[in-house]
Structure 1
Amino acid sequence: MSHANAALTPRARARLARLIVDDGWSPTTAARMFMVSPNTARKWAERYRAEGVAGMADRSSRPRQCPSKTPQKVVRRIVSLRLRHRLGPVQIAGRLGVPASTVHAVLVRCRLNRLSRIDRVTGEAIRRYEHDHPGSLIHVDVTKFGNIPDGGGHRYLGREQGGKNRRSTAQRTGQRTLHRSPRLGRGYVHTVIDDHSRIAYAEIHADEKATTATAVLRRAVAWFAERGIAVERVLSDNGSAYRSRLWAHACAELGIKAKRIRPYRPQTNGKIERFHRTLAEEWAYARFYTSETQRRDALPQWLHFYNHHRPHSSTGGRPPVTRLTNLPEHHT
């Protein structure tokens, strides 16, 4: 590849070659004029005779053959072991009988050298995305939590005491299964999260029907609007509520484009799936609750902490609310 200080550019090579081939100069004399070696002059003259001016262009310095190159069959086996079993370079090298440095080089080329880039469930390489401004896309979903009996559940009190509290609560409420076992029911947490800022909105309901999900969407859009976020798209899974006509009509009225993930591919909606994990660890099961009412009363306070105070890794260690500028025309 020629550069600014190259002795011969493609144009100079052509002049050198013409002096030798067309004008009859000796390679030594022409080389002295262009301040290169006679061997270089002969090389360009021979190429000019064979290919003409087109032969003066730069060529790749990549070798035609590379005997030490890792075979593609070995590369495929390295990638397969990494994706399927999450093995490190030393373990893969021991299985395949190749140096660990070779395995590491292959993983770097394939961008698989860090396990954080591999999905823990499917083993596939993670492809991350993020919309460029708040409101461009919101994620919606529903997660379920079993209701806590009066006095506390088995997670903190143990199976025996938790079972007693469960039976006494079911006796008070009169809720039992078909087999007369005590039933406490579930709380359906409808969650909405902004793709860019990660700011979250959530409500607890007794079901996940289309009427409930649609009402949550309307209130969430209004809640986001109060914070200067105009929702443009909504992404959901393929649940019956999100495939209903009621949901489609609500999105049309709100001016939102409804999108659904590919079936059996929850990773596309991974941001809200990860939020559900945080919700469970830091709110639902974070401390001892003596009743379901106490846990539900704690949700608004925790959401405020999550949005305004809790550092988030995707926002550079700052709370999600720091990505909301609330400046008119800022993201247009």
Structure 2
Amino acid sequence: MSHRNARLTVHGRRILVERVLAGRPVAHVAAEMGVSRPTAHKWVRRWRAEGDSGLADRPSRPRTTPHRTPVSVEAEVCRLRTGRKLGPARIGPILGLPASTVHRILVRHGLNRLAFPDRPTGRVIRCYEHARPGDLVHVDIKKLGNIPDGGGHKVMDRRQAMDNKLVTTAERRSCKPVIGYSFVHSAVDDHSRLAYSEVLPDERQHTAAGFWQRANAFFAAHGITVQRVLTDNGSCYKARLFTRTLAADGIAHKKIRPYRPQTNGKVERFNRTLLDEWAYLRPYTSNKERTEALADFLHTYNHHRSHTALNGHPPTSRVNNVAGQYT
């Protein structure tokens, strides 16, 4: 794009060339167009060598950069970034470089934000997305502590909340009352991010298989035919019952590599959204109240909540559009 004070745009350069080709002197045409004679000759010369493509702007970046930071130094900057998670202000003094130079090196290698690489390994996270709804569905379970009737310590005084849980003296002293857990089973479509969740009492194989049958019916109701399901290596997913349940509908079962939750990242990110916008959104007075609020959250998430990966659109806007555009 031309700068705001440019005398000639691509259209103006084409007019200049046409007038010169018509037989008019270059000096006269240059004066009419408000440019110098060397500039006019430059555009005529480029057009004769490259045609209309030669009239487009070119980057101002030099062909060679003799004083660019050596490759070995750039590698050391990347090593300190991925290995010790240091920023430009810390890496600069170690290697004797200005912080601005370190920053440019990190930008060049895609390491300028700590959110880009994986924190434990330092590797740049590779994002992927399947082309059609149903090509891959991520499935996972989130474990949540139950809320006693009347509410926990977020609603009332901690000592009163512990008394409300009817715990023993030893449990009260340890401040770790045992009130049980709920398990939030979730399924998220890789392409559209359409999500389905249920709060269930456990994470056993029969529970997981039953959840998937209901989740598959949910996706089918939205016109999505599931081809593959991706899970972690939990015991309920490693059980033959879960694989047979998928195979009955012609669905392939894929499992992530051990200790690589990034592969199942879309449902992992959905679990975090569950916590922020549902489970910990406000204090609940009972486990039943929190469970009943899940339906409203899912409706908002699927139909109204904007999604950064979908250019600000909700998941349902992408469900039936295999081209990845929005309705």
Q: Does the C-alpha gap of structure 1 residues 198 and 70 become closer, same or farther in structure 2, counting only changes over 3 Å?
A: same
Name the structure 1 match of 2:150.
Answer: 151
Name the structure 2 match of 1:298.
Answer: 293
Supply the distance in 1 between the matched residues of 2:269 and 2:157 (Cα, whole angstroms). 28
Helix, strand or coil for the counterpart of 2:115? helix
**Displacement, 1:182?**
5.1
Supply the distance in 2 between the matched residues of 1:101 and 1:310 (Cα, whole angstroms). 38
* The one of 277, 280, 288 aligned to 1:285: 280
Name the structure 1 match of 2:126.
Answer: 127
Name the structure 1 match of 2:224.
Answer: 229
User: What are the Cα deviations for residues 22-64 of structure 1, in whole angstroms up to 9, with x where unaligned?
Assistant: xxxxxxxxxxxxxxxxxxxxxxxxxxxxxxxxxxxxxxx988x
One-letter identity of the residue aligned with 2:265: G
One-letter identity of the residue aligned with 2:146: N
One-letter identity of the residue aligned with 1:266: P
| Contact 1:228/1:326 (<8 A) preserved | no
- Rg larger in structure: 1
Supply the distance in 2 between the matched residues of 1:165 and 1:72 (Cα, whole angstroms). 64
**Displacement, 1:310?**
1.1
Structure 2: segments with no counterpart, 5+ residues:
1-61
Name the structure 2 match of 1:315.
Answer: 310
**Displacement, 1:151?**
0.9
Supply the distance in 2 between the matched residues of 1:326 and 1:67 (Cα, whole angstroms). 49
**Displacement, 1:218?**
1.1
Helix, strand or coil for the counterpart of 2:90? helix
| Contact 1:306/1:319 (<8 A) preserved | yes
The answer to whether structure 1 residue 212 and structure 2 residue 204 are counterparts is no
**Displacement, 1:326?**
7.1
The answer to whether structure 1 residue 275 and structure 2 residue 274 are counterparts is no
Supply the distance in 1 between the matched residues of 2:126 and 2:155 (Cα, whole angstroms). 38
One-letter identity of the residue aligned with 1:144: K
Supply the distance in 1 between the matched residues of 2:210 and 2:77 (Cα, whole angstroms). 50
Supply the distance in 2 between the matched residues of 1:101 and 1:326 (Cα, whole angstroms). 43
Structure 1: segments with no counterpart, 5+ residues:
1-60
| Contact 1:227/1:326 (<8 A) preserved | no
**Displacement, 1:121?**
4.7
Name the structure 2 match of 1:248.
Answer: 243
Count of paired positions:
257
Supply the distance in 2 between the matched residues of 1:261 and 1:184 (Cα, whole angstroms). 32
**Displacement, 1:321?**
1.0
Q: Does the C-alpha gap of structure 1 residues 159 and 80 become closer, same or farther in structure 2, counting only changes over 3 Å?
A: farther
Helix, strand or coil for the counterpart of 2:196? strand
TM-score by length of 2: 0.72
Helix, strand or coil for the counterpart of 1:286? coil
User: What are the Cα deviations for residues 141-169 of structure 1, in whole angstroms up to 9, with x where unaligned?
Assistant: 111100001111113434222212222xx
Supply the distance in 1 between the matched residues of 2:201 and 2:158 (Cα, whole angstroms). 26
Helix, strand or coil for the counterpart of 2:165? helix
CA RMSD of aligned residues (A): 2.5
Supply the distance in 2 between the matched residues of 1:219 and 1:196 (Cα, whole angstroms). 20
One-letter identity of the residue aligned with 2:269: R
Helix, strand or coil for the counterpart of 1:234? strand
